[in-house]
Amino acid sequence: MSRKKIVDCVIIGSGPAGYSAAIYASRADLNTMLFVGFQPGGQLTSTINVDNYPGFPKGISGKSLMENCKKQAKRFNTIIIHKTITEVHFSSQKGGIHCIKIEDEENIVESKGIIIATGSSPKFLGIDKEKKLMGLGVSFCATCDGFFHKGKDVAVIGGGDTALEEASYLSKICKNVYLVVRKNYLRASKILQHRILKKKNVNIFFCSKITEIIGDNFLEGIRIFNEKTRTSQILFISGLFIAIGHSPNTELFKNKLDMDEKGYIIVKKGSTCTNKPGVFAAGDVQDPIYRQAITSAGTGCMAALDLERYLYCC
């Protein structure tokens, strides 16, 4: 195994967190290498319209936004590599060197600092057209896409905290919200249950599962099946919000960094520092709560500044 030269900063991930970190780190004259991974541009590239990212009064497509981020990072000489990281070795010493293994390569990259921005992945139902109609009525984020369904009927799938929060948010914008729950009870916290049960425009379908997504070019409705009555019905909706959970992309860092019970990387409060010196985490990978492009970009900036200060002190 041969070694390349030691860089200042390796960024793993090319979503808003990764590119923001790259722009800040490269502009600070850190020798910066960014690994794009299996989803170049991150989750936003799977959405057609981003309406809530500041600076774009008419909105912008997710792909264009991320393409702009890439160009901006390139302007400051970030080295962008279209590969996935398959192994990491973090030093436990302050000022120690971290090692990164790249897919299909014998070489390892050595770096003084690492920024982890591997994001998260929404959990899919695993039914037909779910991916095809993403951004065309199928969504994983009410805060992001609820506005497009103002005054219309929508459905939320799930019975946990996230699903009830999504349903509650949508109930303020949409005409009717159909909450489709697999079990005969809600898993969400009592406070959220009380809040949702008071809403007049939220209808809950217990013991039900979605069996079909209807619509060819955009979502038109869903078919749901009630396990108790063994009957099915169609709900005509403009938006389907799948809220059965998110998984942080942290498999690579298991037993190497402190994580919470869901696998999100734990960072020191008010910073992006992990429990390993010189290793920082930004974006969805350390954020089970907000999971927005703007919060990811914000923490990406923080990670680059944290890394710069760390290198300065070493």
Q: Are 60 and 44 in contact (CB under 8 A)?
A: no
Among 24, 26, 37, 301, the residue binding ligand FAD under the rule CB under 6 A is 37
Query: Which C-beta is closer to ligand FAD: that of 235 or that of 240?
Result: 240
Positions of E strands within 21-107: 32-35, 79-81, 85-89, 98-102
252 lines the binding site for ligand FAD (CB under 6 A):
yes
Reported as type and span, the H/E element at residue 168 is: helix 161-171
272 lines the binding site for ligand FAD (CB under 6 A):
no
Annotated catalytic, 145? yes
238 lines the binding site for ligand FAD (CB under 6 A):
no
Q: Are 259 and 92 in contact (CB under 8 A)?
A: no
Q: Which of 9, 99, 141, 301 is catalytic?
A: 141
Annotated catalytic, 174? no
How many residues lie near ligand FAD (CB under 6 A)? Answer: 41
Place of tokens 């264009």: 64
Query: Which C-beta is closer to ligand FAD: that of 40 or that of 207?
Result: 40
* Per-residue interface string for the shown chain with ligand FAD, residues 113-142, x marking contact by CB under 6 A: ----xxxx-x-----------xx----xx-
Pairing label, strands 108-116, 7-12: parallel
Q: Which residues have C-beta within 8 Å of that of residue 112, sequence separation ≥ 6? A: 6, 7, 8, 9, 95, 97, 98, 278, 311, 314
279 lines the binding site for ligand FAD (CB under 6 A):
no
Residue 257 tokens, joined: 């960094």
Query: Which C-beta is closer to ligand FAD: that of 12 or that of 210?
Result: 12
CA-to-CA distance for 278 and 115, rounded, in angstroms? Answer: 8
Query: Which C-beta is closer to ligand FAD: that of 264 or that of 310?
Result: 264
Residues that bind ligand FAD (CB under 6 A): 12-18, 35-39, 42-44, 46-47, 50, 52, 84-85, 117-120, 122, 134-135, 140-141, 144, 249, 252, 283-285, 291-294, 296
Active site residues: 141, 144-145
